Amino acid sequence: MAGSAANFAGTELCQTGFTDVELERCDLSNMTVRASGMHRVRTSGSRLIGMTWTECAFRDVLFDTCRADLTGFRFSTFKNTVFRDCIVPEANFQNADLRGVRFERCDLSMAQFFQAQMDGAHFSDCVLLGIGGVTSLKGATVKSRDAHGLVFALAGALGILIEE
């Protein structure tokens, strides 16, 4: 099923499922979803700004070239999920299960990972400046060229002051 250029902006859903769907160039901005899920879904070239999916399940999902500022995924579970070429600043992944999730070429500036489960998560060519909950990245893999973005967050978490 294709959902090309669909508009879900501002929609509120609860206990809803998206299965075997391709959402291309869709507007999901300010969509609020609770206790729902995505299974075998590809979301590409879509606008997800301010979208909130709380206590949801994502399995076999690809977010590709999406604009997703201020998105919320609190208390959600991700299995076989990839965020690729996405702009995701200030996203909230608090208490999310991100084990095994791949972030490829994403801007995650100021994203929040407090109490997230990150074992096996992989960050490749990502912007990680100012992320919150940096100690929750325990068990994640970060490419060496991305690690410089973590220096200030890690130092702050350890109570280290870095001077110019």
Tokens 């997230």, located at residue: 116
> pLDDT value at position 4?
57
Q: Using alpha carbons only, give the angle 70, 35, 139 rounded to the nearest 5 degrees.
A: 65
120: left (phi over 0), alpha (psi -120 to 50) or beta: left
> pLDDT value at position 36?
97
> pLDDT value at position 157?
84
> pLDDT value at position 156?
84
> pLDDT value at position 78?
98
> pLDDT value at position 153?
85
Mean pLDDT, consecutive 10-residue stretches, the chain (164 aa), reads: 73 96 95 97 97 98 98 98 98 98 98 97 96 94 90 85 82
The domain locations on the chain are 12-157
pTM: 0.92
CATH of 12-157, one of 2.160.20, 3.30.750, 3.30.310, 1.10.10: 2.160.20
B/e letters for 78-87, b = 16+ CB within 10 Å, e = fewer, are beebbbbebb
> pLDDT value at position 1?
44
Helical H runs in the chain? Answer: 144-147, 151-157
